[in-house]
Amino acid sequence: MSESCQTPSRRGSIAVIREGLKHSPEVLDGLWFTIVLAALSTAGGSIISLVVRDVLDRGLGSVVDLDLERTARMVMIASALLVIVAITSRWSKVRIFTAAEMGLSTLRVKAFAHIHELSTLTQNAQRRGSLVARVTSDVDQVSQFLQFAGILLIVSVGQMVFALIIMAVMSWQLTLVVMLCFVPLVLSLKYLADTMSRAYDKVRASVGTLLAVIAEPVVGAPVIKSFGIEKRTQARMDEAIEENYRLNVRAQAITSVTFGAAIVVGGVANAAVLLIGTWLGVTQGLTLGTLVAFIFLIGLFTGPAQMATQVIADSQNAIASWRRVIDVIETPIDVVEAAQPERLGTSRDLRIENVNFAYPDGPLVVQNVSLTIGARQRVAVVGETGSGKTTFAKLLTRLIDPSSGEIYLGDVRLDRVAFGELRDCVLMVPQEGFLFDATLAENLRYGKADASDGELLEVIDSLGLTDWFSTLPHGLATRVGQRGESLSAGERQLVALARSALADPDIVVLDEATSAVDPQTELRTTRALEVLLANRTSVTIAHRLSTAENADRVLVFDDGRLVEDGTHAELVSAAGVYARLHSSWVAQARLAVDAPADGGPERIEQ
């Protein structure tokens, strides 16, 4: 995978927020009106301090003429302001919750869709747990920030601004004292924010690793139990959990320094205002009401300042998550659909011209391959493990693109064909057909989404699978379990073949299954394959030489090169690579006659 996806980029916080909002524009919908509502709620809370001053100085504080009517009027005004604060505060929160969820839903969909647009080569270079974390927990982290810390940030900034303005009106001297107290904290924030950003980058990366480490043993539980490696697996999991714990503690330690510093500064500001305010009262006639109201305003100012430090900490965690999601979305797509695709003609010949392919930073694994595969020709591709067979198959189906050279389908270059038309025409059937945790019918409909139950039953019957189908407890409604684990390996192969037949492609590229199955399932699979491949072009990566024997044509790969091309009989008599493979297979078959039968098919690879 590209470096940007494997290791999160270190773009700055402002750049991350700007890019994140570009990918989630809904977050900004109606933002100014939301800010106005937040401003009204914070202004109402700040203005109450003026009511407090008035009540103390001109109401309760007047010994000569106690004005109860004015005091009652001020209390009513304060009550009305509190109602306004409650309404506008709730309204602003609902609006920002809605906007944040809409925006992050878009972000999640974009990230998920982009992952599926990446080639299998790019996907396989990334741990599955890390990709899942970016679409789930990382987006959730951003959501929490926008919904809670984001609201706090807007309200806190507004409250601090209004409090500062009113403080300046009441006493510019005391306002100056408060501002001087906060200067050291403000100057240290950039350093603390950068430090927290780096710490939370590591935290979010460790979450992806942790998910991968936890997910693998769940999927591979049978292997773990079979080899008795529970302790080793647990130790690996403990190590990942410990690393995540250590990184979280370190990040929180940095956060606590910031939050603690804000509390200390707030206390110093209160003490300084009380001391200097008393002196101003004695020397310059500062009233008791003004001093009490000023202390009230300091609470409105220092409280948000303290919360702002927590918001900064939360924002660094969220930005680290946002950065990881953006890195996925901006990972370049290496297999790109043509901007102006060309329609396929009637020809279904496959023409490969001087094709080379190398994996990133690796040697060529397919070298200078040129050939033409005619329509409805049955081709077997053989070779030892690592000879380039599977890579060649992926090139034919455009799961990857050649490093150089060209592949044509009819008269149209493969990279000029629209993905939809290409997938309708060329289908790759992998060794193990992946099944989803759904019913048999739902899994079959991945081949044709709008297929009726009648069509599904017709395909099953055409492949000669009716006897097997009749053994399923609920027919088409039978649930296959996660990854199809309610079915045997052979039964999963049968479902994959039925799904492929339902798709009705012109060309089938088949990576022949290598797993051992019982003789009856083997017979069903062979029969179903014969029906599937009839009257179609087929390119089969043959793991059994019996498959190659029945092919119209055999392609032999060795170290990435196409070294032999001909019929089975021609290649056996040529005494080359294929003849050696065939001789080895024949020897194994003779040994198998004398060995206890295990139901396993003879394999071509040595």
Q: What is the pLDDT of residue 598?
A: 47
The whole-number average pLDDT for the span 225-235 is 72
Sheet arrangement for strand 378-382: 426-429, 507-511, 537-541, 378-382, 553-558, 561-566
Nearest to 236 by CA among 216, 253, 260, 222: 216
Give the mean model confidence (pLDDT) for residues 547-565.
Answer: 91
**What pLDDT does residue 226 have?**
58
Classify 376 in phi/psi space as left (phi over 0), alpha (psi -120 to 50) or beta: left
Nearest-angstrom CA–CA distance, 89 and 43: 11
Which pLDDT score, from 0 to 100, does residue 57 have?
64
**Residue 597 pLDDT greater than 50, yes or no:** no
In this prediction, residue 334 has a pLDDT band, given cuts at 50, 70 and 90, of: confident
Contact 584, 569 (CB under 8 A): no
Whether the pLDDT of residue 63 is over 60: the answer is no
Give the integer Cα–Cα distance in Å for 183 and 265: 9
Sign of CA dihedral 432, 437, 443, 445: negative
Strand stretches in 477-551, DSSP E: 507-511, 537-541
Q: Alpha-carbon distance 81 to 528, whole Å?
A: 77
Whether pLDDT at 379 is above 70: yes
**Residues 524, 494 contacting (CB under 8 angstroms):** yes
The pair of structure tokens assigned to 221 is 């539980």
CA 129, distance to chain mean position in Å, is 9
Q: What does the block give as tokens for 529?
A: 């394959």
- Rounded Cα–Cα distance for residues 116 and 96 (Å): 30
Apex 17 CA angle, 246 and 34, nearest 5: 115
Distance between CA atoms of 137 and 108, rounded to whole angstroms? 10
CA angle 533–552–427, rounded 5-degree value: 35
C-beta of residue 357 within 8 angstroms of C-beta of residue 391: yes
Tens of pLDDT, residues 435-489: 888 899 999 998 888 999 999 999 999 999 998 899 888 899 999 888 788 888 8
Cβ contacts of 204 within 8 Å, gap of 6 or more: 8, 133, 138, 141, 317, 320, 321, 324
Q: What is the mean pLDDT of residues 179-187?
A: 80
Q: Are 174 and 277 in contact (CB under 8 A)?
A: yes
CB-based contacts of 266, cutoff 8 Å, min separation 6: 298, 302, 303, 305, 306
Regarding the domain delimited by 350-594, which CATH topology (the fold level of the hierarchy) does it fall under? Rossmann fold (3.40.50)
pLDDT of residue 373: 94
What is the structure's pLDDT at 149?
Answer: 65
Three-point CA angle 487, 491, 492, nearest 5°: 80
Q: Would you state the pLDDT for residue 306?
A: 66
Locate the domains of the chain by residue range: 3-329, 350-594
Q: In Å, what is the CA distance from 252 to each residue of 257, 297, 302, 312, 570?
A: 9, 30, 21, 12, 71
Query: What count of Cα atoms within 13 Å lies in the side-chain half-sphere of residue 499?
Result: 26
Residue 567, phi then psi, degrees to nearest 5 = -80, 170
Band (pLDDT 50/70/90 cuts) for residue 604 is very low
The contacts of residue 239 (CB under 8 Å, 6+ apart) are none
Q: Does residue 602 surpass a pLDDT of 50?
A: no
Looking at 3.30.930.10, 3.40.50.300, 1.10.760.10, 1.20.1560.10, the CATH number of the domain 3-329 comes to 1.20.1560.10
Count CB neighbours of 394 within 10 A.
Answer: 20
* Nearest Cα to Cα of residue 159 among 267, 311, 290: 311
